[in-house]
Structure 1
Amino acid sequence: MTTYHLMRKTLRSSLCALMLAMVAIPASADVRIKDIASFEGVRENHLIGYGLVVGLQGTGDKLNSSPFTRESIRGMLERLGVANLDSATLKTTNTAAVMVTAKLPPFARRGSPIDVTVSSLGDAGSLRGGTLLITPLTAADGEVYAVAQGAVAASGFLAQGNAQSVVEGVPTIARIANGAIVEREIEFSLFQLDSIRIALHTPDFTTADRVRQAIADELGSSQVEVLDSGTIEVWVGGKENAPQTIMAVENLMVAPDAVARVVIDEKSGTIVMGANVRIAQVAISQGGLTVRVRENYNVSQPGPVSLGGDTTVIADGSISIGGTTVIVPETEIDITEKDASFTILDGDVSLQELVNGLNAIGVGARQTIAILQAIKAAGALHADLEII
């Protein structure tokens, strides 16, 4: 029996054993509502600003190729009292223009510190060792909500010389822990709410109903209703009870449901599948053509030099006595074609059983991806196939 026929027999045996041992899919694990949903008004807000990082050791922006850095330096110095400065005379390489981003936490109060991220905007080589100058951070409404300043901490580094350079990580991105101070608060209060809306991270009617049922068991069925697949509304007894209602609801346990989905990353050959993925009855034939190319190099060495050998006068006037060493390439091409045969899978086969059977005969991730795509095209894969 050939190796291929033995592998095919192993595949059929493995699939049969797996189908006979098939058990019910286990239920999803219970999780807290706070881990699969968010509450209305309890959210972060993005902030952004433009600033300068100074004190770099010659790794800042080149002012000839970064005119915005030059103008920012000139404007900053003029505000600090250095007037009548010709920006064309600026030659510094210790300053870099950066974008500063941060997230304003929910219910952040005036004076609270927040972390910021500093990213190079020009052609600076590294932000390591620099200091961010005072930078206002604005939100989408154009208002300033925080001000950032402080020494930056870059995780990467840049070491370079005249002929070689070494870069580790990304030295043009840095962070400042507690680098910004909140100057304006978001005008929102939970005590203004008569009801609280819960937004599921992954909208699903089944999950929404399970959340409703869990809240109804805790607060009463008249206090909660499902608005759509991603929103559940909870009514509070009084405006002063909104925080207490959230605390009572967020730790309730539910079992989230999800649609059957197969996610494929073709770049890395990664396959991620959900527990509810099923495959209908289908016949699979997988074969291929393998081409192997081998390159061998042989050296043709001339005999020993003797006065009686061939004498050649080269163009530069030198004389070559004897033969010349020659490298002779040899190419071997071997083509192997594997006969394809069909394997029939009965209905209601899980994707895990199919993958285990393919693994038993050594089918790689790339071939498995091709098989899954073909099964989906044939209408036998009962799941969403998402390729990223």
Structure 2
Amino acid sequence: MINTDKIVRRLIALTAVLASAAVWWPTPAQAMRLKEVASVQGVRTNQLVGYGLVVGLDGTGDQTTSTPFTTQSINALLQQMGVTVPAGTSMQLKNVAAVMVTAQLPPFAQPGQQVDVTVSSLGNAKSLRGGTLIATPLKGADGQIYALAQGNLVVGGAGASAAGSKVQINHLSAGRVPEGATVERAVPTPLNQGEYLQLDLNANDYNTAREVARAVNAKMGAGVAQALDGRVVRVRMPASTDARVAFMADIENLPLELAAPAAKVVINARTGSVVVNQTVTLNACAVAHGSLSVTINSTPMVSQPGPLSNGTTVSRDKADITIRQEPGSLIQLPAGTKLADVVKALNSLGATPQDLLAILQAMKTAGALNAEIEVI
């Protein structure tokens, strides 16, 4: 006969053991794919830029008196069309705007493919809404034309003004032309050139470079990949083009067991943002924090002369300066080995994000913060 109570007690004991194991068992290494930590050297996007004109605006274009280059561009465009504007003609253009056109040329893009472009006002146009970008060549860093852009703008904003009042939603001086550029020239890539291909890691880390080389060699054979330093892994490629594509398809999804990243605290001094990664730890320390405020009040005072004194009225400002320092008690912070402990300790200070910037730097100097501080 089966003893039900005994089985239930064993299940409860097993559950307790598993629950406690989740606390003391070491955290597994972070699993990522190779293509998330490395990129192929030379296989990247390329920035394109061009200067053009947007026409068809509803009276919201550039004011030609303060943007003479718009008038010059119109004259040059009309001359290409066979139209000659008499010299000295004052052109009052309200429906035209000079713009800069930018685009990202993706890797392996071939002639005839289309890419999105961003159009931004260069002068003092009030709005580009409803405008049409006329044919604009887009050039790369080498000065060669790689795409040609043209099309109707999509502006994610709206606005209206009358009698000195103005209402505007979002931004009206920039817009996009979806698939507005046609690729005219392809950029060569090193995928089919040479015997070796270079993988560039996103971050300089020797352990990651070693793990990438190990994963590729385990999949494709010993000696195929070699870690040259903490950033570069050299891979020997097959001879044929088709085999190289299949080779890259096989290795880009290889799983990598990576160690935790280096402890780092990233501080944005402009916005007061503080980001702490999971490996940051604290040593036991004590922190006292208070605030110092200086208030200056200026009160205008008028000195009036007496009757028949031939004096003049004098106006002066009386300044009252007050310095106030808030008391700050000394708070003891325990050592924290987990991110949750670090967050709890920093929150106990009750400091604003701007104050936290100075506190973290002081803790780093005192040796209580086990992390690298990076200010962006």
Contact 1:128 1:171 in 2 (8 A): yes
Comparing 258-267 and 197-206, the one that deviates more: 258-267
Q: From the superposition, tell whether residues 233 and 291 of structure 1 become closer, same or farther in structure 2 (CA, over 3 Å).
A: closer
Contact 1:260 1:382 in 2 (8 A): yes
Query: 1:244 and 1:163 mapped to 2: Cα distance?
Result: 64
Hey, what does 2:311 align to over in structure 1?
none
Contact 1:196 1:242 in 2 (8 A): no
**Cα distance, 1:80 vs. partner?**
0.5
| Structure-to-structure mapping, 1:1-388, within 5 angstroms | 26-86=27-87, 88-188=89-189, 190-240=191-241, 241-257=243-259, 258-281=261-284, 283-288=285-290, 337-338=326-327, 340-343=329-332, 345-346=334-335, 349-350=337-338, 352-360=340-348, 362-388=350-376
Query: 2:143 and 2:293 mapped to 1: Cα distance?
Result: 62
Contact 2:280 2:342 in 1 (8 A): no
**Cα distance, 1:125 vs. partner?**
0.9
Query: 1:82 and 1:165 mapped to 2: Cα distance?
Result: 38
Structure 2, unpaired ranges of 5+:
1-21, 296-321
Contact 1:125 1:158 in 2 (8 A): no
**Cα distance, 1:239 vs. partner?**
3.6
* TM-score normalized by the length of structure 2: 0.79
Report the AA paired with residue 259 of structure 1. Answer: A
Higher relative contact order (CA 8 A, sep 6+): 1
SS at match of 1:75: helix
Report the AA paired with residue 247 of structure 2. Answer: T
Output the aligned Cα RMSD.
Answer: 2.9
- Give the number of equivalent residue pairs: 329
SS at match of 2:125: coil
Comparing 169-178 and 183-192, the one that deviates more: 183-192
Query: 1:133 and 1:162 mapped to 2: Cα distance?
Result: 33
Structure 1, unpaired ranges of 5+:
1-20, 294-332
Contact 2:75 2:85 in 1 (8 A): no
Comparing 155-164 and 120-129, the one that deviates more: 155-164
Q: From the superposition, tell whether residues 85 and 227 of structure 1 become closer, same or farther in structure 2 (CA, over 3 Å).
A: farther
Q: From the superposition, tell whether residues 228 and 239 of structure 1 become closer, same or farther in structure 2 (CA, over 3 Å).
A: farther
Report the AA paired with residue 201 of structure 1. Answer: N
Report the AA paired with residue 68 of structure 1. Answer: F
Q: From the superposition, tell whether residues 137 and 218 of structure 1 become closer, same or farther in structure 2 (CA, over 3 Å).
A: same
Query: 1:152 and 1:337 mapped to 2: Cα distance?
Result: 55
Contact 1:262 1:384 in 2 (8 A): yes
Query: 1:188 and 1:268 mapped to 2: Cα distance?
Result: 40
Contact 1:285 1:341 in 2 (8 A): yes
Q: From the superposition, tell whether residues 69 and 214 of structure 1 become closer, same or farther in structure 2 (CA, over 3 Å).
A: same
User: Cα deviation per residue 1:67-100 (whole Å; 9 max; x = unaligned)?
Assistant: 1100000110111011143364210110000111
Give % identity.
38
Query: 1:71 and 1:291 mapped to 2: Cα distance?
Result: 55
Contact 1:192 1:239 in 2 (8 A): no
**Cα distance, 1:104 vs. partner?**
1.2
Query: 2:375 and 2:97 mapped to 1: Cα distance?
Result: 39
Hey, what does 2:9 align to over in structure 1?
none
**Cα distance, 1:131 vs. partner?**
0.4
Report the AA paired with residue 385 of structure 1. Answer: I
Report the AA paired with residue 58 of structure 1. Answer: G
